[in-house]
Structure 1
Amino acid sequence: MTLTLPPPTAAAPAPPPGAPSTEDLQALARRHGLSVSGARPPLPAYVRQLWSRRDFIAAFATARLTAQYSQARLGQLWQLMTPLLNAAVYYLMFGVLMDVQHGVPDYLPFLLTGVFVWTFTANTLTAGSRAVSGNLGLVRALHFPRASLPLSLALLQLQQLLVSLAALVVILLCFGEFPTWSWLLAVPAIALQALFGAGASLALARLAARTPDISQLLPFMLRTWMYGSGVMWSIGSLARSGRVPDGVVLALQCNPAAVYIDLVRYALVESYTSANLPPHVWALATGWAVLAFVGGFVWFWKAEETYGRG
């Protein structure tokens, strides 16, 4: 019997004499400004790349806004009708059947303002959760700062809010809320809310890029958050009632969604006075905005190399 041995495994060919080593090639690439494709740039360089693409971010937001309702017969009127229909349902359920309007003067302006402001927050987070996972073709085909996507969608929601606020102002005028100097306070309040929403959407975009189930859970999380944010009822009235512990009231008042709703109500609804605001409300609003945006941006940037893989 003849024993046949397997052929010896071929060894990797040795580099020819005088060929540069891997370390030499890496040093040469760095010297000429070359880097690994898709590598995460340093944070300052990443910010500069985003700024250089600001026109793309604005154009992408505008294009998505135009296309969003292109198939609907009423088109962009749905931007106004959706929060108005929600407000009608909430008024029937909470204002009439549950009578939470008791003790809340000007309940309809109170409710409408809360619904419009909350809709901005909820839509920003929902869009952010799909920013990367919903644009995988673009992410895999082109090299650009991935933060452009959630930031452009946050800008889209801000554009929608500005259209909705114009309608809200008309509605408030119909209910006897006339412009005062306090209306100007809505500008910094909405700016801080937009900053908070952009940061939170960046964080959600990273989570949903690796865990698509986040997008399925998000509507339930947002609904629970809405019920705890005083959209349909007054946190201030609850605090004055003494029916719940002070710690619970403080947590509700410090809730970022409630903070921004309170500030816009204080600006636009005359009967909503400073007594309804939590202490240091502007510091809270600024702190939440800075924490969410800086934290969300840095956390998103740290996973820059992973988006579009798998």
Structure 2
Amino acid sequence: MSDTTHDGAVAVSAAASPDEGFSAAQLAEKYGLSVSGARPGLVDYVRQLWGRRHFILAFSQAKLTAQYSQAKLGQLWQVATPLLNAAVYYFIFGVILKASRGFSRDVYIPFLVTGVFVFTFTQSSIMTGVRAISGNLGLVRALHFPRASLPISFALQQLQQLLFSMIVLFVIVIGFGSYPSLSWLLIVPILFLQFLFNTGLALIVARMGAKTPDLAQLMPFILRTWMYMSGVMFSIQHMMAGRSEAFARALQVNPAAVFMDLMRFALIDGYGAGNLPPHVWAIALFWAVVVFVGGFVYFWKAEERYGRG
């Protein structure tokens, strides 16, 4: 009886261990298991992002609502902040430094305000993007979702904020004699290309900021330098007249200047095509596609490292 029982137990034990001798990697492959938090393929990653599109939109709207929730004027600061900046720049550059040369007052003020609003769109996308991962570590560590959802939602938040501010920009432009025309339809492709560009930059700095949080402290100085080089307060073409043509052209084709000049051309009657660099639409498309695709791939390659350490 004892020998029979012992033989039966051995037989059951052998039958219950068909995977004996397999390594952990072989067992994982056999049963279709994968590493938790592993980076998916690029196509699968895009598919996952599309599946989270409602979350991305809702998150951006929630952030936009909460941004000025503690201020008495609330979301009016979305418009007041760039307008106050434009007023300061007009006093310093338009009145004191006479940077408005080449334009009448009715052209320079819309020129300046448009530049401030458009550059602020890019600037804010970068500043929120650099903290997209490092400032939301609790969310990143608690939930499983494509991490690119965060910088994309922050860029979308800034687009919504700009669209709200554009109402005031339209009023200013019309007030100085530039009335709606067919050229205003160009606003849609301009904003679309700039949004792609901004999103790519947000993805790039989000990965960099996740590894080096101090980058958020350095970024304002980088952005301020970029602003002064991009012709927000002055016309690059007029300011660089008589100087190195190659250097002037390099300043004109930098992406911030390209998107500002396109928007000025679309909105302001006195800002003609002669103020734009050659092949400006091809340049804008190049910056938008290259930075967005490059930024997306750059961010995706570090997907499994966000929130670790």
TM-score in same-fold range (> 0.5): yes
Distance in 2, Cα, partners of 1:29 & 1:82: 57
**What SS is found at the alignment partner of 1:121?**
helix
Match of 2:82 in 1: 83
Q: Does 1:198 align with 2:216?
A: no
Distance in 2, Cα, partners of 1:286 & 1:76: 32
Q: Taking structure 1 as the reference length, what is the TM-score of the superposition?
A: 0.92
Distance in 1, Cα, partners of 2:148 & 2:199: 10
8 Å CA contact 1:129–1:205 kept in 2: the answer is yes
What amino acid does structure 2 have at the position aligned with 1:170? V
8 Å CA contact 1:29–1:35 kept in 2: the answer is no
What amino acid does structure 2 have at the position aligned with 1:247? A
**What SS is found at the alignment partner of 2:271?**
coil
Distance in 1, Cα, partners of 2:268 & 2:165: 16
Q: Does 1:98 align with 2:97?
A: yes
Unaligned runs of 5+ in 2: 1-16
- Stretch deviating more after TM superposition (254-263 or 97-106): 97-106
For residues 11-66 of structure 1, give each alpha carbon's deviation from its aligned partner in whole angstroms, at most 9, with x where no partner exists: xxxxx896241243122232xxx311100000000000000000000000001111
What amino acid does structure 1 have at the position aligned with 2:276? L
Distance in 2, Cα, partners of 1:42 & 1:108: 49
Are residues 175 and 18 of structure 1, via their aligned partners in 2, closer, same or farther at CA, if it must alter by over 3 Å? Answer: closer
Instruction: Spell out the pairing of 1:260-271 with structure 2 (5 A cutoff).
Output: 260-271=259-270
Instruction: Spell out the pairing of 1:31-180 with structure 2 (5 A cutoff).
Output: 34-105=33-104, 106-180=107-181
What amino acid does structure 2 have at the position aligned with 1:78? W
Give the drift of 1:247: 1.6
What amino acid does structure 1 have at the position aligned with 2:30? L
Match of 2:217 in 1: 216
8 Å CA contact 1:235–1:249 kept in 2: the answer is yes
Distance in 2, Cα, partners of 1:187 & 1:17: 63
Unaligned runs of 5+ in 1: 1-15
Are residues 18 and 58 of structure 1, via their aligned partners in 2, closer, same or farther at CA, if it must alter by over 3 Å? Answer: closer
Calculate the aligned-residue CA RMSD, in Å. 1.2
8 Å CA contact 1:46–1:145 kept in 2: the answer is yes
Distance in 1, Cα, partners of 2:195 & 2:47: 21
- Stretch deviating more after TM superposition (93-102 or 19-28): 19-28
Match of 2:13 in 1: none
- Stretch deviating more after TM superposition (247-256 or 278-287): 247-256
Query: Structure 1 runs of 4+ off > 2 angstroms?
Result: none
What amino acid does structure 2 have at the position aligned with 1:143? H
- Percentage identity across paired residues of the two chains: 61
Distance in 2, Cα, partners of 1:156 & 1:247: 37
Give the drift of 1:235: 1.0
Distance in 1, Cα, partners of 2:210 & 2:68: 25
Q: Does 1:295 align with 2:294?
A: yes
Distance in 2, Cα, partners of 1:236 & 1:186: 22
- Stretch deviating more after TM superposition (36-45 or 230-239): 230-239
Q: Does 1:25 align with 2:24?
A: no
Q: Taking structure 2 as the reference length, what is the TM-score of the superposition?
A: 0.92
